[in-house]
Structure 1
Amino acid sequence: MKKAEKVRIGISIGDLNGIGSEIILKTFHDARMLEFCTPVIFANTKLLSFYKKHFKININFQGIDNASKIIDGKINVVNVWKDNTKINFGKEDKFLGKFTVKSLEAATNALINKEIDTLVTAPINKNVIQSKEFNFPGHTDYLAQKMKGDSLMLMVCDKLRVGLLTDHVAVKDIAEKITSELIQKKVAIIHDTLKTDFRIQKPKIAILGINPHSGDNGVIGKEDEEVLKPTILKINERGTLVYGPYAADSFFGTKNYKNFDAVIAAYHDQGLIPFKTLSFGKGVNFTAGLSEIRTSPDHGTAYEIAGKGEADYTSFKEAVFSSIEIFKCRSEYNSLIENQLQKQSKKL
């Protein structure tokens, strides 16, 4: 990559009544960010001007009609719509939800068409974006369908990486969702992404138990004995370093997580509660397993402080930097593989 070229970071605006706009503007108010990337915000220049005035953030951006006209070294705003939007911070608004979806769809299409290099998504309210045309629990499911991949939510903060076997699944349905096939698929995704996106040649992965104390040898539930343990053995036979199941209640408190490159939790809260406790607002949500790169901050719309200028943009900024780093790692890995293939073909 030439020095003059910057990673083009596509940004979806998120919920218009949430804190997405504030954390985006605060992140790129620092002109030094343009030394690392070219931001491309998919929204509307009038809307961004309103946010800029409301939050009293002196920032300049370049309005463009589509992503093919991106200007490197500038903050670009792709005008996805021309409609007027009335902002009412902290309120659920299904009408504004349509613009959230338009931003996400436009950014995703630009990503697939290689007009941008990565995607960073601002927080959404899942309730206000639902419609007959858009019926997804969240970003991850939508992106997985658009890119026809097997996605996995991987929470990242420095060397702490926590993935999930099941993500947005009701607690009563968790056990029946966890099958040997699912475990093998999720482990494969994390193993591949650790090598491709994080420069780890021989990843070590820990898996947390499904039941308390990993079932206590079947006394508290059979799933750990009948599903998890045999599957872990099967995966190990292939040469992948996977260990467990570990009792989730003590795993993080004893700092055992530091002995592994990634941890796989059985369900959402089992993984995200300790992750968010340890990451102190610096966590990043990375969607592993897709052909393209997407990150996001590890928090929601924060309606309770929206519009007040109090939002902490640390996690969003970390999502931008993670996006850049993962893009560079993946590019290097793909170049290495390509060079190896070329050398092998010359020998034939």
Structure 2
Amino acid sequence: MSLKAAADKFQKFCSVFKNEADCFPILFELKWPDGFRCPRCSHSHFYLISTRRIPLYECRSCHAQSSLIAGTIMEGSRTPIHRWFQAIFLHAQPRCINARQLSEAIHVTYKTAWLICHKIRHAMTSRESTRLLSGIVRVSDSIYSKRLTPSFDWHKQEQPLLVGASDDGNGTLGPIVIKLQSKASLKDKYDCPDTAPFIREHIHPDDAENTIVTRRYGRNMNKELAWMGYNVTWWIGRTFLGIGPKHLQAYLDQFCYYYNRSRSTLYVQLLADCINSSRITYNELTKSDSRSRSNRLTRTPRQHSIKLA
């Protein structure tokens, strides 16, 4: 899709969701697909309190009040809901978006855009965390940001990965899982990470014993798995200008989320996952004290996007 076609598509979407009220019916349907259910007592009838910016739904039985964004990644956000819808839409397009681009597209500050991006990424991670590979499963080591040098030593940007995928029996890869590994237990970059924890956590118990493990080099290598590190490096580099190890796993999960789903229905799936994923705060995302947080957010957007996108 050309840039102009993508821009026209986004403008058409924005014309449908012009304000927060346009989003309420969709939020209600995705939050309560079988009709309202009180989060405290599961009663199905409510009083609508429409005097708030975002309506409240008061249970007729226990009188507990529930918001449309309670229990979602949008909970506690001051950003209008239609801006969230626009951000999720842009994350579901073939050309993904980084925080600097999102800031310009939906007219929010860079700090807000960065937080929105990571909260959406958190919803993707939560959804992918439930995936267990099954059937014929293949696992290989790979490297993120691999440098073409003969050295055995790790370059500071190189990160070891384990890549697993279901095989349909004809050699075509199905769903994938990519996990960042620690360098601490590896003697050099040609050493293979321990695959046992990966198999235990990400492969169905019925298929774990028959998992086919290969290396990223040698006669028996699986080229598609071994080169997955290159593919994800290229995607992260093109979209986010490179990512350090602190947040890398979240971006690997985002890559897998896209890979494992049909692009034609991705927006609906992503919106539903964002609504069904619990909130995460800035402090939880950064795991840093207020002083270092303040220092980071006073950097220019371009400097910040290179490290955290």
More strand by share: 1
TM-score (norm 2): 0.30
